[in-house]
Amino acid sequence: MKYNMGILAVIALVLIVTPSPAGLVQGNVDRLAQTQNAVLIEEQKKLVKAFDSHIKDYLRQRDRVRKKLPKLSKDATAEQIHAYQVSFVEALRAMRAGTKPGYMFQPAFADHIRAIIKDEFKGTERVELRQEVLEADTKGVPLRVNYPYPDNKELTQIPPTLLLRLPQLPKEVKYRFVGTNMLLVDTDNSLIVDYMTKALP
Amino acid sequence: MKRFPALILALLFFVLGGLHTHVAAQALKDGNAKGAHAAAPALKITLPRKDGSVRFLAIGDTGTGSNKQQELADVMLRSHAAFPFETVLLMGDNMYGGEGPKDYLNKFENIYRPLIDQKVKFYATLGNHDEPAQRFYEHFNMGGKEYYRFTRGSVAFYSLNSNYMDKKQVEWLNSELSKDTSKWKIAFMHHPPYSSGGKHGSDKSLRKVVEPIFLKHGVNVVLTGHDHFYERVKPQKGIYYFVTGAGGKLRSGDVMKNSPLTDKAFDKDMSFMLIEIADDQMYFQVLSRTGTTVDVGVLPLPKKA
């Protein structure tokens, strides 16, 4: 009897410390998910890196134009601001003539952006975001690269929690929502640098 | 014959005199011209006007260029005569519609010219209707920056760009506040972290990002606009929040009834806030377009947690 009890105790111990077949499967799934996540993160990093590189290209073009313009003072008149913006945007448009949409928002990168926005806004937050963005006075903003964003149209707020998750931009360029689309707009001359459609979930 | 020129002169005097009286009467009737301002009764300003206090005015969503904006500006001018403030904080939406040179003139300069001429300095923040290029405008005193800090006496003011609260701005705010030893720290921006507005209301995404920073570094007061009414929000985690977004537009009846946030609200007319900070007290008075006081009070410096 003592012998039998000993065997039972050993069997019980083995059962406790040995992962069950279900546990084994779950462990493998977790490891696989981790590997997949790591691959995905690596892919995302590559996409963001490529995007950053396109942004830098744009900044180089922009800088070449800006250096030829008279410097705008920090206490400029309304006329000086207007003249600066007009000459800036005209020269930049001429330099970037023929730029195609999607140069920065390349398809895989645009999907990455869509996934971030979808993940950030769920349930009522998604409804509220759509309502705020779609009710904004942005009708008439041209969905065209290398065109200026009209100065009489609203610049919808990008929710800060989203902005902190999106790939960071230099101060010269900003994300903007227009309808369900996302635009990249130059901070100082309002040029539409690029856009992607169906950004809103 | 010698009497003839004298007769013409007398007649001319009579006609011009009559015309002048008519213009003044019309101005009073319209309630918006300088004639009305000259004839209007003095405003009852209840702020203490203590020696060495910091005095300023806060107003938002101004830039329409409408007659009503002008009427409110006239009340601002009258209040300046009784309560000489040196600073005006603009809560954003400084320019609705276009932003050409004429817009700057019609929606800002012409309207506030008497205050600008009296050396009152305007400090702006950007709203969702404002191009970032406004940061270069001479009368907005933004120093070419979308977000910035300045001080007056014991008060540090932080103008934030709530329309684009990115990582760089968050880092800047954290860094500036961590060094700030000012007794009063006041943040002003366009979007309200707390508001009882039916159209917009509390900006929860903004709140998630800025509130922990405000709490960590002891921001005392937050002034905002975006919702076109006045609201004094019940203190939230020890911070005083105000919405003062009826400087050029009014969203009548937009304050949600029985909102748990509201201490006092006014959405029947356009308004602005006069504020005086003296030692550990913040006095405020809110005036409407008719010069009526719609809210008044004094708040103590919140104790550090």
Say which of A76, A163, A190 has its CB closest to residue B136.
A76
Picking from B99, B138, B205, the nearest residue to A77 by CB comes out as B138
Q: What is the pLDDT of residue A157?
A: 94
Task: Say how many residues make up chain A.
Answer: 201
Taking the Cβ of residue B40 and every Cβ of chain A, the question of whether any pair is shorter than 8 Å is answered with no
Split at pLDDT 50, 70, 90, the class of B176 is very high
In this predicted structure, the answer to whether residue A153 has a pLDDT above a threshold of 50 is yes
For residue B188, give the DSSP letter: E
Q: A-B interface: how many C-beta pairs under 8 angstroms? A: 97
Chain A stretch 56-75, residues whose beta carbon is closer than 8 A to a beta carbon of chain B: 72-75
Q: Which residue of B has its CA nearest to A78?
A: B101
Provide, as residue numbers in chain A, all residues whose Cβ is less than 8 Å from the Cβ of B167. 163-164, 168
Q: Does A124 touch chain B (CB under 8 A)?
A: no
Q: Are B279 and B269 in contact (CB under 8 A)?
A: no
pLDDT in tens, B241-298: 999 999 999 999 999 999 999 999 999 999 999 999 999 999 999 999 999 999 999 9
Distances (CA, A) of A139 to A177, B19, B29, B61, B234: 11, 47, 39, 21, 37
**What is the token pair recorded at A196?**
């992607």
Q: What is the nearest CA distance from B180 to chain A, expressed in angstroms?
A: 24
The runs of H, that is alpha helices, within A70-186 are 78-95, 107-120, 124-134, 160-163
Nearest to B150 by CA among B164, B136, B165, B160: B160
Look at strands B184-188 and B221-224 and give their pairing.
Answer: parallel
With CA atoms as reference, the chain A residue closest to B139 would be A75
Q: Is pLDDT above 50 for A138?
A: yes
pLDDT of residue A201: 86
Mean confidence (pLDDT) of chain B: 90
Nearest CB to A74 within list B130, B144, B166 = B144
Of A84, A132, A157, the CB nearest to B163: A157
Nearest alpha carbon to residue B183 among B299, B85, B303: B303
Per-residue exposure over A14-51, b if at least 16 CB sit within 10 Å of its own CB, e if not: eeeeeeeeeeeeeeeeeeeeeeeeeeeeeebeebeeeb
CA distance B167 to A84: 28
Predicted confidence band at B21 (pLDDT cuts at 50, 70, 90)?
very low
- CA dist A45 and A51 (Å) reads 10
pLDDT of residue A1: 45
Which residues make beta-bridge pairs with B155? Answer: B152, B184
Give the 3-state secondary structure of residue B262: strand
Per-residue pLDDT averaged across A128-153, rounded? 92
Starting at the edge strand found earlier in the chain, the sheet holding A181-186 runs A173-178, A181-186, A192-196
Q: What is the pLDDT of residues B94-112, one digit of tens each?
A: 999 999 999 999 999 999 9
pLDDT higher for B142 or B5? B142
Are A160 and B98 within 8 A, CB to CB? no
Burial of B42: CB neighbours in 10 Å, binned 0-12, 13-18, 19+: exposed
What residues of chain A lie within 8 A of the CB of B200, using their CB? 132
State how far the Cα of B122 lies from the Cα of B140, in Å rounded to an integer.
Answer: 5
pLDDT band at A12 (very low <50, low <70, confident <90, very high): low
- What is the phi/psi pair of residue B114, to 5°? -60, -35
CA distances from B179 to B154, B166, B172, B216, B223 (A): 14, 21, 11, 12, 21
Q: State the first-to-last Cα distance of chain B, in angstroms, to the nearest integer.
A: 90
Chain B 104-123, residues with CB within 8 Å of chain A CB atoms? 104-105, 109
Complete DSSP assignment for B51-113: TT-EEEEEE-S-TT--HHHHHHHHHHHHHHHHS---EEEE-S----S--SHHHHIIIIIHHHH
Contact list in A for residue B128 (CB cut-off 8 A) is 136, 154-157
Report CB contact under 8 Å: A164, B166.
yes
Could you give the CA distance from residue B151 to residue B158 in angstroms, rounded to a whole number?
A: 9
Question: What is the pLDDT, as a whole number, of residue A43?
Answer: 87
- Could B206 and A159 be called an inter-chain contact, meaning their C-beta atoms sit closer than 8 Å? yes
Query: Tens digits of per-residue pLDDT, A62-119?
Result: 999 999 999 999 999 999 999 999 999 999 999 999 999 999 999 999 999 999 999 9
Does B167 sit within 8 Å of A163, measured CB to CB? Answer: yes
Torsion angle of the four alpha carbons B246, B249, B251, B256, in this order, in degrees rounded to the nearest 10:
-20
Q: Are strands B262-266 and B230-233 parallel, antiparallel or unpaired?
A: antiparallel
Of B136, B162, B208, the CB nearest to A74: B136
Whether the CB of B212 is below 8 Å from some CB of chain A: the reply is: no
Q: To which H or E segment does residue B184 belong?
A: strand B184-188
| Other Cβ atoms closer than 10 A to B17 | 10
Residue B115 distance to chain A (closest CA, Å): 18
pLDDT at position B40 is 66
Residue A10: predicted pLDDT? 52
Nearest chain A residue (CA) to B146: A171
- For an interface test with B, the pick among A74, A79, A135 (most B C-beta atoms closer than 10 Å) comes out as A74
B128 touches chain A (CB under 8 A): yes
Q: How many Cα atoms sit within 13 Å of B294 on the Cβ side?
A: 23
Q: What whole-number distance in Å separates Cα of residue B89 and Cα of residue B231?
A: 16
Buried b (16+ CB within 10 A) or exposed e, B65-99: bbebbbbbbbbbbbbbeebebebbbbbbbbbbbbb
